[in-house]
Chains A and B, each alone.
Chain A
Amino acid sequence: MSTTTAKTDAVASEPSVPSTPSDRRERDRMRRRLARRRGGGWWPYLFLAPWFVGLFGLTIYPMLDSLYLSFTDFDLLTPAQWTGTDNYERMFTDDPVFWDSVHATLVYVVVSVPLKLALALAVAMLLNRDLKGIGLYRAAFYLPSLLGGAVAIAIVWRQVFGGDGLFNDFLAWFGIEGQDWISSPDTALYTLVLLAVWQFGTPMVIFLAGLKQLPKDVYEAAAIDGASPVTRFFRITLPLLTPIVFFNVVLQIIDAFKTFTPAFVISNGSGGPLNSTMLYSLYLYKKGFTDLQMGYASALAWVLFLVIAGFTAVNFIAGRYWVHYDD
C-alpha cells in the first residue's frame, strides 16, 4: 500500500501518482503478466481443441452440409445435383403430407407442452415439503422420464392403448366399450400426447429446485396478512417462479417439436393412421431414409430449424412482459 521510501519502488496500481516513462513501462509489464495469468495466449484453445473438433466436425460441418443438400436432389445413393429452391417450393405447394405433419406437430406441441408443465408444477408443489422418505417419492415421480425416451415404453404404450389393451380393460369395469385408440385417426395423436405428459419428470425436478429457492419470509408475511393458499400460489409462487417457468417452456417446446421415437414406435414407423401421428421429425426421417429423398429431408430440417428458432425468439420477446427476475 505505502509508497513512501524508494522512488524506484513506484507501484503502478496507484493512479493518483503522476506517471513517468519508467512507471509506464512497469505498468505495461504488470498488465502483460496479469493477462497471461488470466488465460491469454493460445493455451486454452489447445485444451478446448477436442470440443472444437466435435463442434466443427460433428455439428457445424454437418449442419452446413445439410444446408447445401437442402438445395439438391440428394438421394443417398447417387451424387447430389443442385436443384435450387425446388425442395422448398415443393414443400409448400405440392406436398399434402407435409401439411399433415405440420398439423400433427402443432397440435402435439400446443396440447402436450402446457399439460406437461402444469402437471410438473403441480407435482413439484406436492413434493416440496418435508416428509419422511420424500426422496423416494421424488424418485418415483421422476422414473417415467428415465424410461420415457426408450423404445420399450413406446411399445408398452402401443399395447396399453391397443384394441385389446389394458386401457380398454380398465374402461370395461365401468361398462364402457373402448376402441383401438392407436389405430383410430381421431385418437392416435392423443395417445402420444399422453405419453409426453406422463414424462413430466424433468421439468418437475427443475420446478422443485426453483420452489426450494423461494424466500420463506415472503410467505410468512403473506400468511400473517391472511392470504389464502390459492392467493399465495398466484400472487407469490407463480410470479417468483416465472424465470423457471420460462426456462421450462422454452425447453419443452423445442423438445416437443423434435419428438420422434414415440411416434415412430407407436405408429410402427408409418405415422399412421392417416398421417395422424406423422410428427415432423418422423416425416423428415421417412423422406430421408425410406423414400431416399435426403435433399428434401434436409430442406425439411432447415424449415424446422427456422420454425423452432422463430418460436424461441417469440418466447424470449414475450418473456420480457411476464418473466420477473428478482435481481
Chain B
Amino acid sequence: MGHQISRRTLFRTASGLAVVGGLGGALSACGGGTGAGSTSSELTMTWWGSDDRHAAYKKALASFQKDNPKVKIRETYSGYDGYFDKFNTNIAGGSAPDLLQMDTALVAQYARKGVLAPLDSYVGKSLDLTGFSKTLLAAGTVDGKLYGVPSGIGVNQLTVNRSGLEDLGLKLPDREWTWADLRKISQDVYKKSGGKIHGVDDVGGGSLQAFEIYAREHGETFFSEDGKNVGFSPETLQRWWEYWAEMRKLNACPPPAITSAAHNDLTKNAVVIGKALFTFDIGVYGAGGSVTDAQLDFLPSPQGDWSGAREGNYVNGGVLLSATKSSKRVGDSVKIMSFFAQDETAIKAMQLFRGIPPTEKARDLIASGLSETDKLNMEMADYISKRVSAASDALPTPPAPPQGADQIWDLLFQSNLAIAFGKKSIKAQLGEFFDQAAGILGG
C-alpha cells in the first residue's frame, strides 16, 4: 500500500514551501537588537577613504604599534559607500569598532544617540590638542561636548583642470570671482571646445559644497538653529535653481544623465570623465590621489554678485576620529587620536590625505614633502581660511548638522535632478522640497 504522491500535491507543496522560504528570509533579515560593545582583546579601528589614505593610515599605525606594543590594533577600512550602513549594523549587533573615522556631517546624530564617547575629560591629559583652534574643534563638538578630533582643515574649494583651460586658450579665473564669472567662463569652455566640454559640473543639487555657501552669501544658514527645519528661504533656493537651469540651457554644465551618474561615484565625476573643467566636488582631488593626468588647480567658491552679498565660506574639520561609548578601550583610542594629532611620523604619513593638517606645526612638517598640486591645494585652503577670519560679515561656522541631514541633502540632489530631467517645474519642486524637508526634520 504505497502512498502515491500526485503531481497536484507535489507542485502545490513545492510552491507553498517556496513561498514560506522566500518570505521568511525577507522578514527575518530585519530583526535584531541592541547589544554590548566588543569584547575582543584587540582594538578595532575603522575608516573610509581611498587607497592612498589606507596606506597612510597603515603606515602611521605601524609606527604607533612599535611604540605601544601592548595595544593590538585591528584595522578595517573601505570606501565611503556603505561605510555607515556597516557601522550602524555593527552597533546594533554589538560589534562596534572602538575607534573610527567619523564624518563631521554625522557626528551630531551619533553623539546625541549616545553612540560616541565624550572626550573632554581626556583633553589636556592623554589627548594633546595643542595648536587646534576653537573654530576647528567646533567640527567635533556637539551640544558643548567634544566627540571627535578633527583631522585637518576642510574648506570648500573648486577643483579646476587648469591644463584643460589652457588648451582652450582660457585663463584661470581670478580668486575673487563671482557666480556670473563662473557662468561666463563655463560658456566659453563650451564654445571653445566646440561643444565637447561643458564648463562646470551641475551642482544645483549640491548641498555642502555648493548651495550652503550660496545661502550663506545671502546671510542664510542651511539648517535652522534648532535643527528642526532648513534655514534658508524658498526665494534663495528658487534663485539657485534658476541659476543652474540657465547654466544647463547654455550648456555651461553637463546634461542631467552625467550629473546623475556622478552621484556617489567619483569615477563618473564630470571632470574625471573629461566632460567639464571645473568641479565643486572636493573629493576629486582632496583625498590626495590624482584622478587624471591633468594639472589641477584650485579656486574658492564664487562670491555673490548682488548687493549685500556676504562671505559664504567657513572652515570645518576634515574628518574626525571618534571613540564609541560601548568600547572598553576608550583610553587607548584617545592615545591613538593624540598620536595622529601630534606625532611627527603620523603627520608625515598622513600628508593631505585627511585634509590640510590642523596645526601650524603639522603644516610646516609636511610642507617640504608635498607635490606641486598638494602645495596649490594647501595654499588655497590657507587663502580661504584667512579670508574667512578677516571677513566681518561671515556667518559663524554652522554647528554639526541635525539628524536627517543626509536625507535633506539627498532630497536637494533629487529635486535638482527632477528639474533638470524636465519632470518637475522649479515652482512645483520648491513646494515639494519644503514640505518634505519639514517632514524629515520634524519641524
Residue in A58, A69, A254, A275 whose CB lies within 8 Å of B18: A254
Chain B positions 112 through 152: 1 when the CB is less than 8 Å from some CB of chain A, otherwise 0: 01110000000000000000000000000000000000000
Per the 8 Å Cβ criterion, residues 191-209 of A in contact with B are none
Contact status B26-A281, CB under 8 Å:
yes
The answer to whether B258 and A180 touch across the interface, beta carbons within 8 angstroms, is: yes
Q: Does A270 contact B (CB under 8 A)?
A: yes
Task: Name the one of B19, B27, B85, B432 contacting A66, with C-beta atoms under 8 angstroms.
Answer: B27
Picked from B24, B258, B263, the residue with its CB within 8 Å of the CB of A268 is B263
Name B146-177 residues within 8 Å CB distance of A.
none
A65-B32, A269-B82, A269-B264 are contacts. A77–B114 as well, Cβ < 8 Å? yes
Residue A163 interfacial (CB < 8 Å): yes
- 0 or 1 for each of A270-313: is its CB under 8 Å from B? (1 = yes): 10111100000100100011111010011001101100110010
Tell me which of B19, B115, B257 contacts A163 (CB under 8 A): B257
**Distance in angstroms between the alpha carbons of A267 and B264 in the assembled complex:** 9
B257 to chain A, nearest CB (A): 4
Q: Which residue of chain B is the closest to A179 with respect to CB atoms?
A: B257
**One of A65, A305, A309 near B31 (C-beta < 8 A):** A65
Please state if B34 and A94 are interface contacts (CB–CB under 8 Å): no
Least CB distance from B108 to A in Å reads 13
Closest to B30 in A: A66
Interface size on B, residues (CB 8 A): 56
Q: Which of B23, B113, B264 has the most CB of A within 10 A?
A: B23
Shortest C-beta distance, A192 to chain B (Å), equals: 15
**CA of A128 to CA of B406 in the docked complex: distance in angstroms?**
54
B15 touches A247 (CB 8 A): yes
Asked whether B3 is an interface residue with its Cβ less than 8 Å from the other chain, the reply is: no
Question: Are A66 and B22 in contact (CB-based, < 8 A)?
Answer: no
How far, in whole Å, are A79 and B89 apart by their CA atoms in the complex? 15
**Minimal Cβ-Cβ distance residue in A for B6:** A327
Do B30 and A294 have beta carbons less than 8 Å apart? yes
* Shortest Cβ distance from residue B7 to the other chain A in the assembled complex, whole angstroms: 5
Is A140 an interface residue when CB atoms closer than 8 A count as contact?
no
Interface centre among B84, B260, B423 (most CB of A within 10 A): B260
Interchain CB contact under 8 A, B436 and A269: no
Interface of A, secondary structure class, is helix
Distance from A117 Cβ to chain B, minimum over Cβ atoms (Å) = 14
Contact with A along B53-90 (1 / 0, CB 8 A): 00000000000000000000000000001101100110
The CA-CA distance from A309 to B25 in the complex, in Å, is 14
- Check if B261 sits within 8 Å of A180, measured CB to CB: yes
Inter-chain CA distance A251–B14, complex, in Å, is 10
Write the B261-297 contact mask toward A (1 if CB under 8 angstroms, else 0): 1011100000001000000000000000000000000
User: Which residue of chain B lies nearest to A325 when distances are taken between CB atoms in the complex?
Assistant: B8
Contacts of A94 in B (CB 8 A): 439
Is B11 close to A, CB under 8 A? yes
Nearest A residue (CB) for B414: A274
State the Cβ distance, A325 to closest chain B Cβ, in Å. Answer: 4
Q: Is there a chain B Cβ closer than 8 Å to A255's Cβ?
A: yes
Chain A interface size, under 10 / 10 to 19 / 20 to 34 / 35 or more: 35 or more
Q: Is the beta-carbon distance between B7 and A254 smaller than 8 angstroms?
A: no
Of A7-15, A43-51, A81-89, A182-190, the one contacting chain B is A182-190
Given A62-B31, A272-B417, A289-B85, A309-B19 contact (CB < 8 Å): yes
B388 beta carbon closer than 8 Å to chain A:
no
- A78 in contact (CB, < 8 A): yes
A76 touching B28 in the complex, CB below 8 Å, given contacts A185-B421, A247-B11, A309-B19: no
Interface: B91 (CB within 8 A): yes
Shortest B26–chain A CB gap in Å is: 6
Most A CB within 10 A of own CB, among B12, B27, B30 = B30
By a CB distance below 8 angstroms, the chain A residues around B32 are 62, 65, 76, 294
Q: Does B418 contact A (CB under 8 A)?
A: yes
Of B15, B32, B81, B88, which is in contact with the most chain A CB atoms at under 10 Å from its CB? B15
Q: Is there contact, CB below 8 Å, between A58 and B28?
A: yes
Interface status of A258 (Cβ within 8 A of chain B) = yes
| A59–B263 CB distance below 8 A | no
Contact yes or no, A274 B421, CB < 8 A? yes
A242 to B18, CA, bound (A): 18
Contact of A185 among B8, B34, B423 (CB under 8 A): B423
Q: Are B114 and A78 in contact (CB under 8 A)?
A: yes
Tell whether A61 is near chain B: CB-to-CB under 8 Å: yes
**Chain B residues with Cβ under 8 A from A183's Cβ?**
256-258, 260-261
Set B15, B92, B414: member contacting A76, Cβ < 8 A: B92
The answer on a CB contact under 8 Å between B421 and A273 is: yes
Partner of B113, one of A77, A243, A272, A309: A77
Listed by A's residue number, 12 A-B pairs whose Cβ atoms lie within 8 Å are: A63-B24, A66-B27, A163-B258, A179-B257, A183-B257, A185-B423, A258-B22, A258-B26, A270-B410, A272-B417, A273-B263, A326-B7
Closest 3 CB pairs of A and B: A62-B31, A62-B28, A65-B31
Given A77-B114, A298-B31, A309-B19, output 6 extra A-B contacts at Cβ < 8 Å. A78-B114, A96-B436, A258-B26, A297-B30, A301-B29, A301-B30
